[in-house]
Structure 1
Amino acid sequence: MEIYLIRHTTPNIEKGICYGQSDLDLDENYASEFKTIQSKIPIAGSIKVYSSPLKRCSLLAKQFNNEVHYDNRLKELDFGNWEMKLWDAIPEKELTPWMSNFVNTAVPGGESYTQLASRVKAFFEDILNSGAKENLIIIAHAGPMRAFLSSILDIDLKDSFNIKINYGDIFHLKKEANTIRLITEVPI
């Protein structure tokens, strides 16, 4: 089984704003970004598409197949009280503890990176155990993708932000028996 893990295209939001599970529209260049993504995926035959239900992923997912399986476990980190605030406007007394241990410290009203990694791991375990034979396209966000790739590459979660993931990036994986093998070279 071939698996293509894809980060959504560029969202329509100003730089410097904290967003995770906010439901954002896509940038006006969406159509050309999609064509670039589509040209890099040589899937033939039956495909099954999974996606975060957030608009910036679901719009891309629908381009591949009308039948999309939405899964909340693919959502970006829940930034809770910080959603849609300028990073510079987040109180230092809240930001400092999180920045010093973002893996285990939950954002006020949100979640920790460990919690995100746990739900992403559960999603991929379900995929492995499903017995599905179709090729998969999975549309997600950088946080869930880094968490999953760090487990494949045996990288600590705290170091997973060294994995560079741009908007529209694609990671090709292959499921063989009960394992997932990474085909794409990962820039670290």
Structure 2
Amino acid sequence: MRAGAVELILVRHPRPLAADGICYGRADLAPDPAELARVHAMLAAAGLPGGAPLFSSPLRRCADLARLLSPDVLLDPNLAEMDFGNWEERSWQDIPRAEVDAWAADLLHYRPGGGESVLAVARRVAAAMGAIRRHGSERAVVICHAGTMRLAATLAGGAPLEQAALAAAASPHRIAYGEMLRLTAT
């Protein structure tokens, strides 16, 4: 590993207690208990966190899992998922198509539902990654969200902030609940 680099083991939270097709980002949803047990067992079998510092989004679907893994969790609000404003906890089908189209037309700056822009989220995730690097460990486990994971991956690849934000926003949403992603951040 390069000097000053940190190995990140990013883990997506367990499936939350939410119906399919619901927009949720910053909504503080609890994890489904069966999914929480499944993901916890998978991570425990993998030996995580394995002495590495454990960082987590403060949202319950992440923090509940992190607290099962270690009593020493570093909660970082910069790891939270995007705030979708008044879109939160609404069916995607009920969100006016014109609003979704406006977001698609300006992925970087549009604030869906009056919440956060993708660029604002990228700034937060970059700040979280900086805090993890400054922690000084060679390895860290991070319990977070699919959007956070996509942003962290593009940022770790060295892309400039705006380019990383666009790449993450344009990526298909294919990170499974409980999925792990290993990367090196410098």
Q: Please say whether Structure 1 and Structure 2 have the same fold, judged by a TM-score greater than 0.5.
A: yes
Task: Give aligned-pair identity as a percent.
Answer: 33
Normalised by the length of structure 2, the TM-score is 0.83
CA-CA distance at 1:137 after TM superposition: 1.4
How far apart, CA to CA, are the structure 1 residues paired with 2:16 and 2:62? 10
User: Contact 1:76–1:144 (CA<8 Å) still a contact in 2?
Assistant: yes
Aligned match of 1:149? 153
CA-CA distance at 1:156 after TM superposition: 4.3
Matched, 1:158 2:166: yes
CA-CA distance at 1:133 after TM superposition: 2.9
Higher normalized helix content (fraction of residues): 2
CA-CA distance at 1:10 after TM superposition: 1.0
Aligned match of 1:170? 180
What is the 5 A alignment of 1:100-139? Answer: 100-130=105-135, 132-133=136-137, 135-139=139-143
The Cα RMSD (Å) is: 2.1
Aligned match of 1:79? 84
How far apart, CA to CA, are the structure 1 residues paired with 2:144 and 2:155? 16
User: Contact 1:48–1:134 (CA<8 Å) still a contact in 2?
Assistant: no
| More off after superposition, 106-115 vs 71-80 | 106-115
The aligned amino acid for 2:144 is A
Matched, 1:3 2:4: no
| More off after superposition, 56-65 vs 92-101 | 92-101
CA-CA distance at 1:75 after TM superposition: 0.4
- Corresponding residue SS for 1:21: coil
Aligned match of 1:37? 43
User: Contact 1:37–1:170 (CA<8 Å) still a contact in 2?
Assistant: no
For residue 52 of structure 1, the aligned residue among 54, 57, 63 is 57
1:35-93 residue CA offsets vs partner (Å, 9 max, x unmatched): 1233234654x322111110000011012211211111000000001101111111223
